[in-house]
Structure 1
């Protein structure tokens, strides 16, 4: 646990406090636009660097692996080093990685920068929220601040689509470089506004179990993604994929061993007995993974059929705008419907949307074919995403809420890593095969959600209570 913050002069004033919230929320927007901006730019990046789809998918899955794989370890770094120092350092590294990715001609270096940027977001996103809750007084002011922070995160996906549609028309390198100057401006503002805090007391003996677990989890995710992306390749690629799969299993064993031996594991064992948390994490992984995989297929399809990056961004807006518009009210929607009902409705709509997308080899991506699919997918996220989080953490004890949130977000990002890698492999066979996979992943998430709805109805029924 971190000790209470020492507020610098001026932060007590409401004006300065809201300036701090604005800076933190603006960084959340930049974090959120990373995925959507890169998705729209993927065909241009592939053409510029001469990458196949299985190679190209690393710009998406590498970011998600860095975010999800190192999120739990990032919490320990924040405890050890303090919120302010970690947050500002992550902003600087994020900017440097953005520039390096924009300037490189190496696919390996581009992937490495994406993993690094994902880790930076794993540090800044939860830490920014923690700074807000420790700086803004409890009550209406804090609720407004958290709502603003969440809204910027939801709006960032739409902003990334539009920004990438504009910048990719000039050069895909501008799309990757744009976050760098913005992050540096936020760094300069953060140096002035973010309150200082003291890290937790250092333990007498260093505990290497946490870094071992975090790094093995991330390495395992990356290797598993490599194996899935290359299993459909040539003989040599299949051999390397098999070796990567074996190495991923080995790192998984290392992670489990480190967790069992740690006096303070990244995933407390009590969480593994929280069925609502685990069910929601699986549902969210399926929803997020199928969503990102679907947009990857649609990006390649649309731009392969002659649409520009800008036209692709506009085609994606029906799948993204509803979430941004409803961000401030998504919690009320979930409460009004009941989290289990909202999750089930959204989880069913998502595979319906994927199934409606045109999949015939010569199908033209016209508005009549795209709009129903995109609207269904957008509505699915409005209904399910916030409700999944509420359902995941609603029954978890207060002392485990932080760890539960970390485990949940790790699963969300792992879903994107594994589905994107699998989709990229099947896209070399044909769009229809990749779409069937995405639909199957979405349907699996719907089955999990409907199971939760049945369980919720059973628990609340009068017969069960008597």
Structure 2
């Protein structure tokens, strides 16, 4: 195994468990990028009330800041993998870092919601290019055995740290101005790019690669997602019976049908629909979408509650959310052992149950005289427990449900579902909050968590 230290030269792979400085550098470039990808959602969540106040946006439009990133990430994840396979890991990875940095600066300077949301979508697509590619580079650059296992653990740990880091960074920076929360990833991404120029290895020139991008499949899935989010945004603002709202729902349905047709007839589809014949994979995708959707829907609702109703500042809000994300950081290195000890089906069901209980315990009347220890902390701890129990188990169940040669494709489908759950749940939560208030939006979050539990229960009858 070799590692490129610049575009053309190579450095020897480590012997046994010994790592070269170049391998350490490569790992921290990849893991650092994974961290800034993971924190993109949390940095925007805490800043939402400040953004809304500055740009004059209601919650139904404000949610685009969150769902825009998810809509660029999820629907384009499989397409991003295809782009990387055709053009090569190194050039695509490095280009995505530069575009990510540029989009961060533009979003910080945006004077209106349209440009801000557009840059969030672009950054989501950059994450769709780099997040899975980083892991693929690790698997090719690090020799099988302890070195690779340790590298994957570090990479996963940085990903788990990203959301919690974003809460703290956003809380601090939003106190000075929400635009700083969008600007600060730019210099980080540029530093990673400069290091990556020397450390990211070139692809094997003899590798097999697909011939077609399946652009129609990518466009139709992305259009379906954006149209659904737009329809959910239009409902409370224009009316659910407004031609614009009805038309968006109709176009979304047509786009979804077009996507299915394209994938069934394409010579090299992004997604082979026969994967959906594996029940465990489908349960993992739907269950993870429900968990992520209910979690982000609750945090969106809680952000508005804590800052607009209870009077907390951005930093206090970020700290209030830490119990929902920090436990995953602390347990990330032990998730594989937990799955081996208890089984993925049991962990997923327990996690789904914890999320549902957390949603049920959150106050439905949005009190102004908030008592954090009794009104908010139990919910945050339960959602934190849900992710500790189920997050890694979902992915393991999804990838082990299919033959070995199709695990990468199954992982892409699973990750797509996770991001789609985030985009649609936050959009619908914001729509209900705008039109009907806190309690109906919380009921939706609870219903999504309940759906996740119902999806998880059949897994208790099967061993994985």
TM-score class, shorter: over 0.9
Give the direction of change, closer, same or farther, for the CA distance of 1:339–1:417 in structure 2 (3 Å limit): same
Which residue in the other structure is 1:332 paired with?
Answer: 337
Equivalent residue of 2:119, what SS? helix
Map Cα deviations across residues 311-369 of structure 1 (whole Å, 9 max, x no partner).
Answer: 00010011010011111111211221110000000000101101111111435332121
Q: C-alpha distance in 1, partners of 2:4/2:187?
A: 29
CA distance in 1, matches of 2:383, 2:115: 33
How far apart, CA to CA, are the structure 2 residues paired with 1:406 and 1:274? 15
Match status 1:142 vs 2:148:
yes
Match status 1:243 vs 2:247 = yes
The reply to whether residue 273 of structure 1 matches residue 280 of structure 2 is no
- 1:12 partnered with 2:13: yes
Cα offsets for 1:395-437 (capped at 9, x unmatched): 2111111110000000000100110110001112111111110
Q: 2:420: which partner in 1?
A: 414
2:103 to 97, 104, 107: 97
SS at match of 1:232: helix
State how far apart, in whole Å, the 1-side matches of 2:401 and 2:443 are.
Answer: 35
C-alpha separation in 1, matches of 2:448 and 2:401 = 26
Query: In the aligned structure 2, how far is the partner of 1:387 from the partner of 1:273?
Result: 20
Question: For residue 324 of structure 2, what is the aligned residue in structure 1?
Answer: 319
For 2:236, which of 232, 235, 242 is the aligned residue? 232
C-alpha separation between the residues in 1 aligned to 2:276 and 2:305?
A: 40
- In 1, the alpha carbon distance for the partners of 2:99 and 2:204 equals 22
Show the counterpart of 2:398.
392
Paired residue for 1:127?
A: 133
Match of 2:293 among 277, 284, 289: 289
1:126-150 CA distance string (max 9 Å, x none): 0011111100111000000000000
* Equivalence map 1:307-386=2 (5 Å): 307-367=312-372, 368-386=374-392
C-alpha separation between the residues in 2 aligned to 1:402 and 1:15?
A: 29
Match of 1:72 in 2: 78
CA separation of 1:23/1:412 partners in 2, compared to 1, >3 Å: closer, same or farther?
Answer: same
State the Cα distance separating 1:229 from its structure 2 match: 2.4
Counterpart in 1 of 2:17?
none
Task: Please report how far the alpha carbon of residue 269 of structure 1 lies from its aligned counterpart in structure 2 after TM superposition.
Answer: 3.0
Report the RMSD for the aligned CA atoms in angstroms.
Answer: 1.8
Of 168, 171, 177, the residue aligned with 2:183 is 177
Q: Following the alignment from structure 1 to structure 2, what is the Cα–Cα distance between the partners of residues 167 and 82? A: 36
1:189 maps to 195
1:426-445 matches, within 5 Å, as: 426-428=432-434, 429-445=436-452
The CA deviation string for residues 79-112 of structure 1, in whole angstroms up to 9 with x for no partner, is 1100000000000000011111110112111111
| Deviation larger for 8-17 or 293-302 | 8-17
- 247-256 or 210-219: bigger deviation: 247-256
Residue 262 of structure 1 corresponds to 266
Write the distance in 2 (CA, Å) between the matches of 1:58 and 1:50: 14
In the other structure, the counterpart of 2:456 is: 449
**Number of aligned residues:** 452
CA-CA distance at 1:4 after TM superposition: 9.2
Unaligned stretches of 5+ residues in structure 2: 15-19
- Give secondary structure in 2 for the equivalent of 1:196: coil
State the match for 1:47 in structure 2: 53
Match of 2:88 in 1: 82
Aligned residue for 1:217?
A: 221
Query: Helix, strand or coil: the match of 1:69?
Result: coil
Question: 1:21, 1:252 → 2: CA distance?
Answer: 38
Q: Within 2, Cα distance between the matches of 1:403 and 1:74?
A: 12
2:234–2:240 contact (8 Å) kept in structure 1: no
SS for the counterpart of 1:382 is: helix
Residue by residue over 1:245-279, the C-alpha shift from the partner in whole angstroms, topping out at 9 and shown as x without a partner, is 11111211221121111112111233121110011
SS of residue paired to 1:10:
strand
Relative to the length of structure 2, the TM-score reads: 0.94
Q: Which runs of 5+ in 1 are unaligned?
A: 461-466
* Partners of 1:201 and 1:133 in 2: CA distance: 17
Cα distance between partner residues in 1 of 2:270 and 2:182: 32
Distance across 2 between alignment mates of 1:96 and 1:234: 34
Shift of 1:5: 7.5
CA distance in 2, matches of 1:171, 1:374: 26
Displacement, 1:161? 0.3
